[in-house]
């Protein structure tokens, strides 16, 4: 998915980074998505917590396989904090897809922490809840 990477420099602002994160989530390309995740990332989902990039990527890869034709959307974005090297955002999310041949959907609230490290933004924490 190099075209996505080429479209946005990972050194752009936090809002551009969040938009790229949503795009890569919808592309379902695990490797391209994983490029945005920090090595020490922690993700809290309703079905469990995942610590470290490998665990986070494995959990998201499972979701990509389990939910066919998924569309994930972030809305009602509220920036809690934005600085040169860290940003915190709250939002609403919703998703639609197919699980085991049946239409499925869900949504809730999300909070993400992004850090700029070595000149590029990375996702360091995500908390999704219903």
Tell how far CA 81 is from the center of its chain. 18
Query: Can you name the CATH fold of 2-129?
Result: Nuclear Transport Factor 2; Chain: A, (3.10.450)
Domain boundaries, the chain: 2-129
Q: Which pLDDT tens digits describe the chain residue by residue (130 residues)?
A: 434 444 455 557 999 999 999 999 999 999 999 999 999 999 999 889 999 999 999 999 999 999 999 999 999 999 999 998 999 999 999 999 999 999 999 999 999 999 999 989 999 999 999 9
Do the Cβ atoms of 121 and 115 come closer than 8 Å? yes
93 vs 78: CA distance, rounded Å:
12
């Amino acid at each position: 998915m190099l075209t996505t990477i080429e479209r946005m420099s990972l050194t752009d602002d936090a809002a551009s980074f969040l938009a790229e994160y949503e795009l890569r989530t919808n592309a379902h390309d695990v490797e391209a998505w994983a490029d945005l995740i920090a090595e020490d990332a922690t993700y809290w989902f309703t079905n469990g917590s995942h610590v470290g990039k490998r665990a986070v990527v494995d959990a998201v890869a499972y979701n990509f396989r389990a939910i066919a034709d998924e569309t994930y959307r972030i809305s009602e974005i509220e920036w809690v904090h934005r600085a040169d090297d860290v940003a915190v955002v709250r939002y609403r999310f919703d998703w639609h897809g197919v699980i085991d041949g049946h239409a499925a959907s869900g949504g809730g609230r999300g909070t993400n922490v992004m850090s700029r490290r070595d000149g590029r933004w990375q996702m360091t924490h995500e908390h999704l809840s219903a």
